[in-house]
Amino acid sequence: MTKKAVNICIIDDDEIYQFTAIQTLKKIDIEKNVTSFYDGEEAFNFFLDNINTESNLPDVILLDINMPVMDGFQFMDAYVKLKSKIKKNITIYMVSSSVDPADMKKVEDYKDIIGYIVKPMKRGDLLTKFEDLQEKGVI
């Protein structure tokens, strides 16, 4: 039986990070579809447009904190309100260059965020996260 492709969503306003993350994800040996957005509002609107099409929604989100329009925490606040309408379990990692303890502590307030990844992210870090998700049967 062939496993379905994993939908991965990158929400980050840094073009260089997005490019690097996409290139790193290409090297991970899983079937995947990668979607990217430059701010939380753009991503949230995608969620609203696809709320009834589970196959379009991401399985994994790599979410930046600091973005224009709607930052990562604002996205999470909106996501939490919408979550009851989403029929899919979505794994979310907060990804940020911030090493501010206040940001790391605030992430703990969101039970839907399963980890905090500090940029720049190494290929091995991302590979380990996805291997863990595979072992746990999440993806």
The CATH number of the domain holding residue 96 is 3.40.50.2300
Q: Is residue 130 part of a domain?
A: yes
Residue 1 tokens, joined: 């039986």
Q: How confident is the model at residue 119 (pLDDT cuts 50, 70, 90)?
A: confident
Q: Which residues contact 28 (CB under 8 A, 6 or more apart)?
A: 126, 127, 130
Please indicate, yes or no, if residue 37 is contained in any of the structural domains. Answer: yes
Given pLDDT bands bounded at 50, 70 and 90, which one contains residue 100?
confident
Fill in the DSSP letter of residue 125.
H
Q: Give the chain's mean pLDDT.
A: 89
For residue 31, what pLDDT is reported? 86
CB-CB contact of 88 with 57 (8 Å): yes
- pLDDT of the residue at 47: 93
The three-state DSSP-derived secondary structure of 66-108 is CCCCCCHHHHHHHHHHHHHHCCCCCEEEEEECCCCHHHHHHHC
Least confident of 2-6, 10-14, 70-74, 98-102: 2-6
Domain that holds residue 92: 6-135
Q: Is residue 1 part of a domain?
A: no
- pLDDT above 70 (res 2): no
Confidence of residue 1 (pLDDT cuts 50, 70, 90): very low
Average pLDDT over residues 98-112: 89
pLDDT of residue 3: 63
Least confident of 20-29, 67-76, 97-106, 118-127: 118-127
Task: Domain count for the chain, please give it.
Answer: 1
Tokens representing 130 are 């996805």
Q: What is the pTM of this model?
A: 0.91
**Which phi and psi angles does 73 have, rounded to 5°?**
-70, -40
